[in-house]
Amino acid sequence: MIRIIGRKSEQKFIDTALKLNDLMASFLISRERFVAILNGNPATSDDIVNPDDDLVLLEVFSGG
């Protein structure tokens, strides 16, 4: 399951393995605005995301 958490939160599913970079591009999610946590660990754009993995995309917020 893919959980996107930020200004708008949603859940998505995939049916095939994809590189994280390709998955984020297909969902129109910016790598600069989100941090990826794959199965509890920070993920890089080259990591492979499988359909049964737990991926959390956290939107980065800033402020003072």
- 6 found inside a domain: yes
Instruction: Tell me, yes or no, whether 64 lies in a domain.
Output: no
pLDDT above 90 as % of the chain: 81
Confidence of residue 61 (pLDDT cuts 50, 70, 90): confident
pLDDT at 36: 96
* CATH code of the domain containing 41: 3.10.20.30
Sheet (strand 41-42) strand order? 10-12, 2-5, 55-59, 34-38, 41-42
| Structure token pair of residue 30 | 């910016």
Asked whether residue 39 is domain-assigned, the answer is yes
Residue 23 lies in a domain: yes
The one-letter amino acid code at 15 reads D
Expressed as residue numbers, the domain containing 33 is: 2-59
